[in-house]
Amino acid sequence: MESLTHLDAVAAPIVVINCDTDQILPARFLQKPRSDDFGQFLFRALRFGPDGTEKPEFVLNQASFRESRIVVANHNFGCGSSREHAVWALYDYGIRAVIAPSFGDIFFINCLKNGLLPIVLPETVVLPLLEYLTTKAGSRISIDVPAQSVTLPDGASHAFEMEPFAKQCLLRGMDEIDYTLSHRDRIDAFERNRADAY
């Protein structure tokens, strides 16, 4: 996992509410090997017509948003499937943070396992921000992970919550498997001592 400490980048607004994992990464690409660039499949049906040509109206196809590394989204972003491929698609495209008022539970967890930072900010901040980014295309947002702070284009800073462990993983670019394996003895003991063993 790649570490992330600071990010200052163009933010693309995805205005639709309940943007589900099938929109982020359609199921027909689940069969692709991880070595593929999943970024090409990101928002496939929204980004491209059936013949593969770009839809000019889609945000990421507009010149000022092509270098986006942050997505700002509406409520319940990433609802639906557990497919981690949805996170890979965003990540491979170059997105390192998603800001939304709420996320699908599994998607949120999957983000943190892949170095994609999901940030929950209040609806009262995000909904006006979506509108701002739409009208002022190419606006940048700055994220300071150690300080857990987001600075919006208008200069206002907002603190965000982050679990300490997930934060350390993101700052150091490490994942949980090694950490958990270091507690192997406790897992083994738990399994041996269980009263309701299956």
Q: Which residues bind another protein (CB under 8 A)?
A: 15-18, 20, 22-23, 26-28, 30-34, 45, 50, 74-76, 79-85, 87, 102-106, 109-110, 113-114, 127, 163-166, 175-177, 180-181, 183-184, 186-187, 190-191, 194-196, 198
Cα–Cα distance between 120 and 45 in angstroms, integer? 26
* Residue number with CB closer to another protein (16 or 159): 16
> Which of 3, 8, 2 is CA-nearest to residue 143?
8
Cβ-contact 86, 27 below 8 angstroms = no
Q: Tell me how far, at minimum, the Cβ of 33 lies from another protein, in Å.
A: 8
CB 20 within 8 A of CB 158: no
Q: What burial letters (b/e) apply to 70-81, b meaning 16+ CB within 10 Å?
A: bbbbbbbbbbbb
Q: Which is nearer to another protein, 155 or 182 (CB)?
A: 182
Pick 146 or 198: Cβ nearer another protein: 198
Give 23 or 139: the residue with its C-beta nearer to another protein: 23
